[in-house]
Each structure stands twice: as structure tokens, then as C-alpha cells.
Structure 1
Amino acid sequence: MTRTVYLNGDWLPETEAKVSVFDRGFLFADAIYEVTAVIGGKLIDYAGHGARLRRSLEELAIPCPLSQEALLAVHREIVRRNALEEGLIYLQISRGVADRDFAFPKGAEPTLVLFTQAKPVLDNPRTKTGLSIATMPDWRWERRDIKTVQLLYPSMAKMEAMRRGADDAWLVEDGFVTEGSAATAHIVTKDGVLVTRPLSNAILHGITRASILDLARAEGIAVDERPFTVAQAKEAAEAFITSATNFAMPVVSIDEAPIGSGRPGPIAARLRDLYIADRLATAL
């Protein structure tokens, strides 16, 4: 059974959805994307993803082809058409089709694509075992706050981490951890303080990050938004990542050094439970 894909206003079988070879997303990675989790057929943290989508488009001067209301309706419809109970929706908007030129084309119509991926996000077995992390240099461009499809280096970093026997990579710049290959990096100090890098153009402004920090503060957990080094991470009581499909996922080792007890920590587990309960209550 093939999925139904949304492409520029049409609902198509995935085998029939085609994008031009002249699309600037293909030629220049001139495109942005968002990923929204789905649980019980409902959209999780959609408002945050919609706001970040608009910001990314504005930063690249790409017009949004649909209104906010229409885009939400498309998200709901693709869930219905694919009978998606649990998984994710991937959305991508490129600047559109034009003959290859470094200068932006005038009047190009953006290309809008959405598809679904069914996968377990609630009962992820890695929450019980935690992730192992390998660190490596952050060689990405400097506007990481824009969620573009320029993902080659993060992909290479993840593959190198896996080659080393780890599950994923944390990227390091000037001695400080920026973020994971596709997630926000957090640590919890031995004093129980949740530490995560502050927002800037050095990291993606994670939607799950923002939600988790709000929940932590409401729970009485101290939060310190500051950079931290790899050495500080290795000395922490806990470490974890946040992302749209991982929610809060524990990290148990960094460069083969165990973090805390070497097992998933209680604060990451508590924040994951709080996030799921809170976001299910407000899902669209």
C-alpha cells in the first residue's frame, strides 16, 4: 500500500509525485523543512512548528504558498488520507522551479511537499537504554537557526558516529557543544541544573527544546541557558537530547565515557513523561 503525498495542491500516490530537476531545492538546497510528530492521529506541538516554518521562510524570502489555516488543514488531511496513528509528517517548501542561476529567480512559484512516515514515537526502546554519542567538529554554515534542507554534513557526522560505534553525533565549535546531528543537546549538572545552549544563529531554535524548558521551569527544575563544553558534559549527572520525534531522549555516554551512572537519568525521563502528557492534552 503506497502513501498519499501532497504536492502543490494535488493528492498523489507516492509513486506518482514528481518534482522538476530544475527545482532549486534539488539544485541549491534552496528550501526549508519541518517535521511534526503525530500521536493518536493528532498533531503534536504544531503551533510551534508553524511559527518556525514562517520564520525560516521569511529569512530566505520564500513566500508561503498556503495560509496558516490552509496549511493546518493539509496536515490534518494527510493524516486522514494515510490513516496515520503514530509517526511524523515531513513538510518541505523550496523556492521553486527556475533555470539554474545563483541569483534568485523572480516570480517562481514555491514547491510544497508533504508526506507521512509511520513509526513508533511513544514506545521508543531507546528511552530505556539511552543513546551513545560521539563528538566531532561542527562544520555547518553559520545560519543554523534557519531550518534548511542543507543536511549533508549532519548526515555525514551521524554516519561517522555510527562508524565509531555510537548512535549519534554531538557537534562542537570553539570547544563548546552546539547541538546534535538532528536534535538539541542538554545536560543536567550534579546540582540538578538543566543546562542547554542559548538561542542564537549557532543552533536551530528547537520547538521541543522550548516546550521542555517551559515544563522544566514549571516543575521547579533550575534551567541555565549557557554553552557547555564536552568535558562539562562528561562530568554531568545526566545528558539528553530533544527533538520533534524523540521528545526527550537520554544520553548515557559521550566518546565512550559514561554519563552519570551510565544509565538513563530520572530528570530526562520525567521531562519526557511531562512533555507527552502535556502535548497530548493540547494536540490538534
Structure 2
Amino acid sequence: MTGPLAHLNGRFLPFAEAALPLHDAGFVSGATVVDNARTFGHKLFRWADHLARFRRDCAACYVPLNATDEHLTVTAEELVSYNAKWLPPGGELQLVTFATPGPLGLYSGGAANGPPTLGMVTYPLPFARYRPFFTEGVTLVLVGTHSSDSTVLPPTVKHRSRMHWHIADHTARARSGTPSALGITAGPDGTLTETSVAHFLAVIHGTVTTPPRHTVLDGISLRVTEELCHAVGVPFAEAPILPDRSLAGREAMLTGTGFCLAGVRELVLPNSERIRFDWPGPVYRALLAAWSDRVGVDVAKQFTEAGT
């Protein structure tokens, strides 16, 4: 075969031929559990953690996942190995694993649903998308509230129902005038939660602080950043973070799968006030260096010097 492959419902096929029927629950209802991992040196990073979260989230969302961990791992490694051949020098991949309940009989005139859908696709890691995070710092815009206390669909679950993030990021870019800006939401109590691609952290009184875990996605990169805080001797804590002037002059960061760790330059509030952070600050620089040591590559250079 010529060109990248995908894996869908038990078989490899050309990426361009991979498709879901229009009556699949993932399309009709947005009922899709998903995972997004990335490679370093064309090897998946923290795959075991990603896979465990994916299986847990499928169970929580009543999405059948019949494949074994061994089968999923072998498939993921084969797909990454093959698709990496089509990358430019220095390129890396992101691997998306997804599962849905499958086709809904109601929409095809039948009574039976399923079988469940399971797929894997890769795409080249978009260095250009994240480059401004390292050259300019991240601009965040507080765009509104988002429920973080649902007992039906907990915020810890990674899924594809992302309309609120689509609106949040477009709103952030329109209000800030910054093409790479991200929206960040507040919970019902007014404290900060997360963004569409990353967790938020602030350095408060010398402690790297992140919103309470039950209010945000169970992020693999957040786990790594916490581990690195312990490794470099920086305290780490979970606590509510209010978006007010007390944050001015402190450090703030984002951590996410695609880019590992990036410093936040400013937070734009609903009244258009801009809270400026210490960017790039010393704690961020220490943690970014620790990230680079952990993954075996200079993370910042990977984004600032890559050709794509």
C-alpha cells in the first residue's frame, strides 16, 4: 500500500478509505470515547497509561471494548511503525484510538444496533500549530463556564463531544486577536478548569497548583508533570484557582500530550482585562528541561526548529 494506513474494525486499510457509516452512534450522537497519544523517536509515550484510561472510559460510557490490551498494543505499534515511514525527517506522530457503540439500527430501518466500532488513526504531530506556544507564550481567554460536576458524564472522561471547545477557542481568538489563543473555562464556582488541549497550572507561593482532578480530564501529561515536579523538588498541589489579579506576575503553564509543557503569557478576562504572567519563568524552564530529559529530546527545539 502507498501512503499512511488506518486500522478500523479489525483490519488495516488506506487512511483515505477509512470511514464510518452515517448511522454510526459516533456520528449520530457524538458517542465516541477517544484517546490521543504521541510518539518520541516514533515510539509511543506512556502508552500503557493511555490504554488503561481508554479502557476505563469505554466502560464508564457503556461503549463495548472487546479487544484485549495485547491486541490493541500490537495494533498501535504496527500502525505507528508503518505510518512513521511517511514522515519528513524529525517528524513524529499522534495516535488517535476511538470506540463507539457502532451503527444504530433506528437510522437504517432495522431493530438491532452494533456491532461496536473500534479504530486507530495517526496524523503527523503539528509542530507549527504549537510553535507560538514556545516563541510567544500562550494567550488564554476566559470564555465562560462549563459544568465540572456532572454525575452523568464526568469531566475526567476523554470523549469526542467537543462542541463547547470548538466555540470556546473561536471565541478566544476573536476576543484576543491572537490566532493561537485558547479558551479556558470556569467551573460553577468561578474557578478555572482547563482548555481544549491542555491542563492549566499556576505557580502559587512556590507550589505548582492545578485545579482539583475531579473537575478536569484525567490527563496523562498532567501525571507526568506532577512526577517531574517531585523529581526537581517543586511542590505540587491540587486546589481551586480563581481568575483574578492575584495571579498577575506569577507563572502559569499548560501541559498536554502534543506539546508536553508550555508557558502561559497572559489570561484575558471577560471584562477584557489582561492578567500578565511571568513568562518564561524559572519553574517553567526547570520543568521543561525535565520534560526534555524524560522524553530524550529538546522539547522546545522540536517545535521551534521543525520544518512543519
Asked if Structure 1 and Structure 2 have the same fold, meaning a TM-score greater than 0.5 normalized by the shorter chain, the answer is yes
SS at structure 1 position matched to 2:266: strand
Greater per-residue helix proportion: 2
Counterpart Cα distance in 2 of 1:121 and 1:277: 19
Counterpart Cα distance in 1 of 2:71 and 2:246: 43
* CA distances 1:169-202 after superposition (whole Å, capped 9, x unpaired): 111122100111221111012x3211101211x2
* Structure 1 residue 140: Cα displacement: 5.2
Q: Which residue of 1 aligns with 2:185?
A: 171
* 2:288 is the counterpart of 1:272: yes
SS at structure 2 position matched to 1:216: helix
SS at structure 2 position matched to 1:56: helix
- 1:40-79 to 2 correspondences below 5 Å: 40-79=41-80
User: Which 5+ residue runs of structure 1 have no aligned equivalent?
Assistant: none
Counterpart Cα distance in 1 of 2:122 and 2:62: 26
Query: How many percent of aligned residue pairs carry the same amino acid?
Result: 25
Verify the 8 A CA contact 2:263 2:280 in the aligned structure 1.
Answer: yes
* 2:208 is the counterpart of 1:197: no
Verify the 8 A CA contact 2:6 2:121 in the aligned structure 1.
Answer: yes
Q: 1:7 to 1:140 in 2, by over 3 A?
A: farther
Counterpart Cα distance in 1 of 2:199 and 2:17: 35
Counterpart code for 1:176: T
Counterpart Cα distance in 2 of 1:192 and 1:128: 25
Q: Which residue of 1 aligns with 2:277?
A: 260
Counterpart Cα distance in 2 of 1:98 and 1:170: 34
Q: 1:233 to 1:157 in 2, by over 3 A?
A: farther
Q: Which residue of 2 aligns with 1:112?
A: 118
- 1:201-240 to 2 correspondences below 5 Å: 202-231=215-244, 234-240=247-253
Verify the 8 A CA contact 1:176 1:229 in the aligned structure 2.
Answer: yes
Verify the 8 A CA contact 1:233 1:239 in the aligned structure 2.
Answer: no
* Structure 1 residue 258: Cα displacement: 4.5
Verify the 8 A CA contact 1:241 1:248 in the aligned structure 2.
Answer: yes
SS at structure 2 position matched to 1:93: strand
Counterpart Cα distance in 2 of 1:112 and 1:39: 25
RMSD across aligned positions (CA): 2.3
Q: 1:98 to 1:260 in 2, by over 3 A?
A: closer
Q: 1:49 to 1:280 in 2, by over 3 A?
A: farther
SS at structure 2 position matched to 1:82: helix
Q: Which residue of 2 aligns with 1:151?
A: 162
SS at structure 2 position matched to 1:155: helix
Counterpart Cα distance in 2 of 1:99 and 1:232: 54
Query: Structure 1 length as normaliser, TM-score?
Result: 0.89
- 1:115-154 to 2 correspondences below 5 Å: 115-119=121-125, 124-139=131-146, 142=150, 143-154=154-165
SS at structure 1 position matched to 2:284: helix
Counterpart Cα distance in 1 of 2:228 and 2:112: 44
> 75, 96, 100: which is aligned to 1:94?
100
* CA distances 1:3-33 after superposition (whole Å, capped 9, x unpaired): 2111111211122112111110001111110
Verify the 8 A CA contact 1:242 1:248 in the aligned structure 2.
Answer: yes
> 208, 224, 242: which is aligned to 2:255?
242
* Structure 1 residue 279: Cα displacement: 3.7
Q: 1:65 to 1:277 in 2, by over 3 A?
A: farther
* CA distances 1:126-185 after superposition (whole Å, capped 9, x unpaired): 223211110011335732111111101111101111112241011112210011122111
SS at structure 1 position matched to 2:118: strand
Counterpart code for 1:204: L
Aligned length: 275
* Structure 1 residue 273: Cα displacement: 2.5
Verify the 8 A CA contact 2:184 2:192 in the aligned structure 1.
Answer: yes
Counterpart code for 1:170: I
Counterpart Cα distance in 2 of 1:99 and 1:67: 26
Verify the 8 A CA contact 1:234 1:257 in the aligned structure 2.
Answer: no
* Structure 1 residue 41: Cα displacement: 0.8
* 2:192 is the counterpart of 1:182: no
User: Which 5+ residue runs of structure 2 have no aligned equivalent?
Assistant: 298-308
SS at structure 1 position matched to 2:105: coil
Counterpart Cα distance in 2 of 1:98 and 1:136: 35
Verify the 8 A CA contact 1:208 1:243 in the aligned structure 2.
Answer: yes
* CA distances 1:202-227 after superposition (whole Å, capped 9, x unpaired): 21111100110111022110112101
Verify the 8 A CA contact 1:187 1:233 in the aligned structure 2.
Answer: no
